[in-house]
Structure 1
């Protein structure tokens, strides 16, 4: 049985302890700030917020390019000469990263690419599902392994509320009129992945403490999420009391394992400080 190596992008926001424990290989995306290109994971998130406070601009982000993918896969092959690589990628509907991976492997063998059609915790949920499959069935056949991952992709559900609309505005993702109206009325958009695309599906009004609970209640009402695992994704600056309330609400809804994941620099560039999201897999 050839060793299967799982790979994904830094935009999955997988915690370092899980990456190390399960030997998931991570290829970094990019954050560009002050004319300098930083690899996602090398830049403290607080630096992004400090940059915005100073300039009223958000950094830009960039996908992993084809050359970086090629070098990434070659490095894995050197370390694990007889391995098969299964790459679970950031949604192709919101980034060229997945297409760059496709281009990189044109002349490479035994690399299987799966478009997770998701980002951050939604992508991470698919990767960790693959991890659990390998743990439960270490001798699983490759075709069956890939098929099971692909079948779970449409069941991964992510919903999140950005921390501040000014980050969305600075990044060009909302109009100035929408920003002003949203700020004055204390409106917070709910962002979900719909067929791999980031879509605003609902608007909440009020403080994040109340809005975050409504988000979770709606999420659990709309999706039949497997109670084995729930992931909360938050950006730096979220009030600790909000985390405690959501954690308790998840426990009250019979979730056995609840994992908190802090968004990295790339995702935080779009979410802003104090954002909150939830991800899980439908049954």
Structure 2
């Protein structure tokens, strides 16, 4: 029976305990500051915030490129000869990582390599990947040939349509600096103390929808209750996304609300450098798997 490896990119923001539990391989995306490229996940995230405060600009981000994917998978294969790899990419409509992964696979004619578009980011990727890891635990012994491996890849891909992921930036400063919010909208939002809800739709696009008014501690309950009422989630696990700098009291309240609503388990997912370049400090978010 071949060994099976789960792989992804750093933008999935997998908590370290999940990486260790399922022995997931993670390829770094990149963050560029002052013309220097840094591997996401390999430097303090405060560097992103310090750079913005010093320059008024957000760092730029770049996807894993084709050659990096080739090297990444070849390294896995050198350590796990004959393995099957299921690689989960950041949403194909939010980054070019998926397209680069497909190009690398086709260029090198990699066999037993399956690429799954999570159609999500950050905590949404985490929810998708962990759900697939649990499926794999139940079906691993049945993956004995190419047909079974391909069928499992199709099941993994289909699960992407059952992931719900929303988040709310604490500030629009980073979105404005990146050109995603106009100056007029930025000024109006600040005056009215508005914060946009960012939803990941079924195609994997990030879309601003509803607006919440007030401080993060005041909108947490409303946001969570709205999310939980709108989506019929599996109550096994709720993924609580947060940006560095969010207060512990809000983190505690998020977990409390999850438990009050019958979730058996919560997982904190800290937004990494890639998504924090756009969301900034102190964001909150939720992700889960629908029934």
TM range (shorter): over 0.9
- Residue in 2 that maps onto 1:26: 26
**Whole-angstrom distance in 2 between the partners of 1:11 and 1:163:** 20
- In structure 1, how many angstroms separate the alpha carbons of the residues matched to 2:80 and 2:230? 42
1:248 equivalent in alignment to 2:256:
yes
SS at match of 1:261: strand
What displacement does 1:18 show?
A: 1.6
Where 1:236 maps in the other structure, the secondary structure is: coil
The 4+ residue runs of structure 1 with deviation greater than 4 A are none
1:180-191 equivalences in 2 (<5 Å)? 180-191=187-198
1:193 and 1:224 mapped to 2: Cα distance? 16
SS in 2 for 1:105: helix
Q: Secondary structure at the match of 2:7?
A: strand
1:111 to 98, 110, 113: 113
Moved more, 13-22 or 232-241: 13-22
The answer to whether the aligner puts 1:167 opposite 2:169 as a matched pair is: no
Select which of 228, 231, 234 maps to 2:236. 228
Paired with 1:276 and 1:108, the residues of 2 have a C-alpha distance of 38
Q: CA deviation at 1:136?
A: 2.6
- Paired position in structure 1 for 2:102: 102
Q: Give the deviation of 1:150 after TM superposition.
A: 1.7
- Determine the C-alpha separation between the residues in 1 that align with 2:259 and 2:54: 40
User: Structure 2: which 5+ residue stretches go unaligned?
Assistant: 144-148
Unaligned 5+ segments in structure 1 are none
TM-superposed CA distance for 1:131, in Å, is 1.1
Structure 1 position 163, deviation (Å): 2.1
Partner Cα distance (1:6, 1:12) in 2: 13
The structural deviation recorded for 1:45 is: 1.0
Tell whether 2:156 aligns with 1:154.
Answer: no
- Quote how far apart the aligned CAs of 1:196 are: 0.6
2:15 and 2:268 in contact (8 A); partners too: no
TM-score (norm 2): 0.95
What SS class does the counterpart of residue 81 from structure 2 fall into? coil
Match of 1:266 in 2: 274
For residues 105-161 of structure 1, the C-alpha deviation after alignment (integer angstroms, 9 at most, x for no partner) is 112111111111101010111111111112233313323422321221101000000
Q: Does structure 2 retain, via aligned residues, the 8 Å contact 1:19–1:25?
A: yes
Q: Is the 8 A contact 1:134 1:140 kept in 2?
A: no
Residues 236 and 263 in structure 2, CA contact (< 8 A), matched pair in contact too: yes
Match in the other structure for 1:138: 140
Between Structure 1 and Structure 2, how many residues are aligned?
Answer: 283
Deviations 1:86-110 (A, max 9, x none): 1111111111110000000112111
Q: Name the residue aligned to 2:146.
A: none
1:89 is the counterpart of 2:97: no
Query: Deviation of residue 209 (structure 1)?
Result: 0.8
> Residue deviations 1:175-228, cap 9 Å, x none?
111111111110000001112100011111111112122111111111001000
What is the distance in 2 between the residues matched to 1:213 and 1:2?
A: 46
